[in-house]
Structure 1
C-alpha cells in the first residue's frame, strides 16, 4: 500500500476496499473454492483470532467505539489547511480511526474467509465495510484541501516539525495533484465506496460457496469431487486419462457459469473506468499504478521483455515433454513433476521443521518470528467446508500480528506456499514493528520480494540436504515450474488484464465470448501452440473466470 493509504484513484474513500483485498493481495496461489464437506481440523491447526478480539461479542461491543473515532475526522473538513498544527491533529485523527477500523475489519474478514457460509460473520464484515465507507466520506476533502494550499504556504507546512512524520504522505498527495478533484466532487465520489467492492464480493460468493463441482472416477476406482484442492492434487496424476478428466471437470464447471462471470468481470472493469475518468487518468492501468508511483512503462516493458523470452519457456517445456516421454505436451500436462516417482509428501509438522532449517540464513530474529507464529497460531492450516481456497497473508492489524490462511495438502507445493506466505508475514511483522502506521504497509510492487526469496531459500535448502538423484530431479522440476508460474504465468495474467481493460476502453463490452477469445489467443501465444510446444484445448479459454487477482486492479 502506498504511503497515502486509503487512496483509490486519489479519493480517500475505499481504504475499506483495500483492506478487503488484503487477503488477495499477497497470495501465492489462486484463491479457489472449497465446496465439499471436509473434516474438522484440530484446534492447534486453526488460527487464534483472540489477539484481535476475545470473542464476537467483544467485537460487537467495540464497533461503536471504533465508529465514534470517525467524528473527529469529519470535523477536519475545512481545517486541513488552517495551520501545520491543525493539519497534524487531523492526520493523527485520520490514521487513528483508520488503524482501528482496519483491526475491526481484519477480524471479520478472517471469520468469513474460514467459513463463507457463516451469516453472522458476513454481517460483521458488512458492518465493517459500512464503517470504512463512513471514514471515506469523513475524509473525502483531505486531498482537495491540501492541494488547494498555495505552494509557498505549503512549503512552510512541509517543513513544520509537527508534520515531519507525514512528509511522505504529503509528498504523495501533492504528486497526484493533476488527478485530485474538488472537495465537493470527492464528497460525491466517496458515496460510491460500498459499490466499489461489489464485483469482488460477487466473485467470491459464487466461487467459494455456489459452484457445483462434479465428481469423477479415476483409473484407481476412486471417486473424487474436483474442487480446487482436488484439482491441485490430481492434476499431477501420472495417468494422462485422469489428468484430462480432472481438467475437463474443473474448467467445465467454470464454462457452465462463464456468462455470469463475464457480466461480473465487465461490471468490475466499468467500475475501474468510472474512477479512471473521474480522476482524469489516460488508462485504467495508469490509474491503478498511480498511487504507488509506478510508471505505466514499467508494467508494459515487463510484459514485452517476458514475451521476448518465450523461446526459453518453450525450450523448458520441450525438455519436460522429452523427459516425461510424452508424444504431445498438453496444457493438462504442465503440472506433472519431472520424475515418474511418487512425489514426496510432508505433514504440516514436517513443513514447520523444514521452514526452521530453511530460514536459518536470515538470522535468529527472523527465526523467532516463525516460532512466534507457531506458538500464537497465526495460521489456519487445512481446507474446510466454506473456506476460501489457496493461501494468503493479511497484515492489516497493525497492533497485533499477521494472519496466514492456507489449504495445506501435504505436498511440496504446500510447503513452498507456507514459506512464501511466511515471507509476507515476516515482512509485515517487521514493517508494523518499525514504521508508523501510515508507512507500515507496502505496495504490491515490492510485496513479492520477501515471499519469493523464501521460496528460493527452500530450493537451496532441500537441494543441499537431500542428494538422492531422483529427489534432485524432482526438485529441479519444481524450481523450473516455480520460474514458469512466477515469471511467465504472472506476466501472462498481466497481459490479459491489460488487454481486457484496453478493449473496454475502446468501447467493447466484455462478453464471455470476447474474454474467452482474448484469453485463448494469449494462452496460445505464450505457450507456443502454433510452434508445436503445448496443445491448448479451447476449453481452457475460460480459465480467466477463476483468477481472483483480476479483481485487484492490475495486481500482477
Structure 2
C-alpha cells in the first residue's frame, strides 16, 4: 500500500502483476457502456462542485492543527483531542482524494482530474509540514506516560497500536524541523512515478504492425496484453517485437524515471537513518528483512519446479523451442475459455460459498450496486485495483474486463481486497481500519484458490481440465515466481544505487536480463529469452511502489495454506480467517497471519505451495500420458 503523505490514510490499492487485456471493449466509448457496469461516484460526492466545497472546507481546518502544538504530552485529554482532530481530517482527506483519483483513472487523458490530484498533493504536503511536530512531540514523553494516559482516558485506546509503533520506530523519527522537511519533500519525491504513469498510459507512441491476417494494429499495452495470449505464434512474434523495441526507443527516459524513484527511496531511508531502502520499507510494519531474503532464496532453490512447469508448457504446445513469447498463449487447442461478466459473477459467487452468507451477500451488493467499474474504455487506467479508502462508505473496484478466464480470476482477486476493506472498516475504528499490503494480498489470492478449486471440481472434459489446470499453474508462475523475479530485480537495483553505482536504462536492462534468463533457464535451453525482453522492467508500474511486489509472493503462499484449511470444512479455521479479514491494522502483519493460522517466518507456507504446485503438475502429466496412449 502506498501512502501519498502523512495525512492520507489509504486502504489497499493493488495493481495486478498482469495488466488487464482488452478485446473489442477497448473500442467502446465510456458513454456507450451500460450504467450498471460503471462506478457510481455519487456515493462519494454528488458532483464535482460538492467535491470542491469539501476541499474548501477541509482547507479551512488544516491550519487548526497548530493549536495543539506544545500540548500533546501535558494531559491525556489534550492528546486525545489532537489525535481525534487528526483522525477526522485524515478521513475526509482520504474521501476527497479518492474521488479525484478515481475520476482521473476513468480517463487519464482528462487533465481536469489530474489537476485536482496535484492540487490535493500540494495541500496535503503543506499540511504534513504543519503537522510535523506531532510525532516528535509525543516522543518527548516516555512510554509509561502514554500508558498512564490511556488508562486515564479510555478514548485513547483505539490509538494504542499506532502509538506503540511510534515508540518502536522512535530511532527513525526526526526532529520537528526535519520532519517538516520530510513532509515537504512529498512535493517532489513522487514526480518520477507521476511522469511514468502519464507517459506510459497516455503518451507513449504506439507502433503500427500488420498481423498475419493482414489486419493493421497499433500496439499499446492493451493490444500487447491481448495478443500475447493469441493462439497464432507468428502474430505473437510480430507484436512482441514491435512492443518491446518501441520501449527500447525510450530506454533512456524510462531509466531516468526509475532511477529517480530509486533515489527518492534512498533519500527517505538515509534521512531516517535506516541501513537500506529495504529496511526502510519493511521495518515500519515490523516485517523482518529475512522474510524478503528467504523468499528470493527459496524461489531460486526451487527453480527446478518452475522448469518442470515450463517443460510441461513446451510439451503441450508442441514446439521445438519454448520462447518467452509463448508463456501467455493457450496450450490446449479448441478450448475457448471465455466468460461473460454475468457468467463470471455467478462462478465467483458460487466459489465463495465456503466463506458464509454475510461474505457472499456483501459481494452481491458490490456487483449489483455499482462498486465495480467493469469494462475498458479509451483513456481508462489499465490494470485492476480495489480501493477501500472511503471508510464511511464502501470500497470500489476498477477492472478492465475482457471475458478471459484471467479476468474472472482478477474479479475474485479484487473482491478479496474489497471484502477485507469492507469488514475492517465495519469492525475497526478508523485508526486501525487500514492494513498493509503484506496481509492485503492474502485476502485476494485466497479467493483465487477458492475459484480454481470450485471450477476444477465441475470440469469433466480432459481438454478443458488441462486448460484450467494450466491456467492455475500460470498463477504459480505469475504470482510466486514472476513476482519474486521482480522482487529480486528491485532489491538489486536499490543495492547497486546504495553502493554508488550509476543506473541507466542500459544498466537496468542488463540487470533484468541476467535475472530473467536465470529464472527461465535460458542457458539450459528451458525457455528462450529474446534480447528485447530486457526492456520488460520498463513496463512494470510496481517498481514505483517501494518494495511492493514481494508481497504478492508471500501472500500467495499464505493463502494456499489458509484456503486448504477452510475448504476442508474446519469451522475454527473459517472463524480465524474471518477474524483476520476484520482485523485491519490492529496488530503487526506477521502476528495477524499467525492468528489466522500461518507463520510467515517459517518455511512451511512456501513448502506447502511448492507441494501444491507439484500436485497440479502431477495431474496434468497424468492426463497427458493418458491422452497419448489413446
Say yes or no: TM over 0.5.
yes
Task: Give the Cα–Cα distance (whole angstroms) in 1 for the partners of residues 29 and 250 of structure 2.
Answer: 28
Residue 596 of structure 2 aligns with which residue? none
Deviates more, 1:75-84 or 1:42-51: 75-84
- Cα drift, residue 218 of structure 1: 2.1
How far 1:342 moved relative to its partner?
3.8
* 1:77 has 2:66 as partner: no
Match of 2:260 in 1: 267
Whether 1:237 and 2:230 are equivalent positions in the alignment is yes
RMSD: 2.0
User: Does the 8 Å contact 1:380/1:404 carry over to 2?
Assistant: yes
Number of aligned residue pairs: give it.
545
Aligned to 1:54: 46
Unaligned runs of 5+ in 1: none
CA distance in 2, matches of 1:493, 1:206: 21
Aligned to 2:420: 427
What are the equivalent positions in structure 2 for 1:284-303 lying under 5 Å apart?
284-303=277-296
- TM-score, scaled relative to structure 1: 0.94
Q: CA deviation at 1:158?
A: 4.5
Are 2:20 and 2:225, in contact at CA under 8 Å, matched by a contact in 1?
A: no
Give the match for residue 109 of structure 1.
101
TM-score in terms of structure 2 length: 0.83
Whole-angstrom distance in 2 between the partners of 1:419 and 1:74: 44
Report the Cα offset of residue 397 of structure 1.
Answer: 1.2
Corresponding position: 1:511 with 2:472:
no
- Look up the SS of the partner of 1:275 in the other structure: helix
Checking the alignment, whether the CA contact within 8 Å between 2:335 and 2:464 is kept in structure 1 is: no
Distance 1:549 1:14, change over 3 A: farther
2:579 aligned partner: none
Larger RCO (alpha carbons 8 Å, 6+ apart): 1
| Distance in 2 between residues matched to 1:84 and 1:358, nearest whole Å | 49
Q: Which of 17, 23, 29 is the equivalent residue of 1:39?
A: 29
- Is residue 2:112 matched to residue 1:120? yes
Deviates more, 1:92-101 or 1:374-383: 374-383
CA contact (8 A) 1:33 1:228 kept: no
1:381 aligns with 2:374: yes
**Structure 2 counterpart SS, 1:69:** helix
Report Cα offsets for 1:493-525 as digits up to 9, x if no partner.
100000000000011121011100000000011
Distance in 1 separating the partners of 2:219 and 2:15: 25
1:137-156 to 2 correspondence within 5 Å? 137-156=129-148
Secondary structure of the residue aligned to 2:68 is: coil
Once the two structures are TM-superposed, the CA of residue 125 in structure 1 deviates from its matched residue by: 1.3
Give the counterpart of 1:190 among 177, 183, 187: 183
The separation in 2 between residues aligned to 1:231 and 1:149, in whole angstroms, is 56
- Indicate which of 64, 68, 85 corresponds to 1:93: 85
Give the aligned partner of residue 537 of structure 1.
Answer: 530
Change (3 A) 1:437 1:206: same
Counterpart residue number, 1:480: 473
Query: Deviations for 1:266-320, whole angstroms, at most 9, x for unmatched residues?
Result: 1111111111111000000100112211111111111111111001000110121
Q: What SS class does the counterpart of residue 132 from structure 2 fall into?
A: coil
Do 1:33 and 1:389's aligned partners in 2 also have CA atoms closer than 8 Å? no
2:39·2:373 contact (CA, 8 Å) conserved in 1?
yes
Q: Which has the larger displacement, 186-195 or 412-421?
A: 186-195
Q: Structure 1 stretch 310-319 or stretch 369-378: which is displaced more? A: 369-378
Once structures 1 and 2 are overlaid, which stretch shifts more, 514-523 or 265-274? 265-274
- C-alpha displacement at 1:217, in angstroms? 2.3
Instruction: State yes or no: 1:347 paired with 2:371.
Output: no
CA apart distance, 1:106: 0.1
Distance 2:311 2:268 in 1: 44
* Local SS of the residue matching 1:393: strand
Asked whether the 8 Å contact 1:401–1:429 carries over to 2, the reply is yes
Unaligned runs of 5+ in 2: 550-630
Contact in 1 for aligned 2:17/2:483 (Cα 8 Å): no
Q: Residue 565 of structure 2 corresponds to which residue in structure 1?
A: none
Relative to 1, partners in 2 of residues 1:456 and 1:304: Cα closer, same or farther, differing over 3 Å? same
Tell me if structure 2 keeps the 8 A contact 1:32–1:388.
Answer: no
Deviation for aligned residue 1:152? 4.0
Give SS of 2:285's match.
coil
Counterpart CA distance in 2 for 1:222 and 1:425 is 40
Alignment of 1:263-342 (within 5 A): 263-342=256-335
| Contact in 2 for aligned 1:31/1:548 (Cα 8 Å) | no
Distance 1:60 1:524 in 2: 51
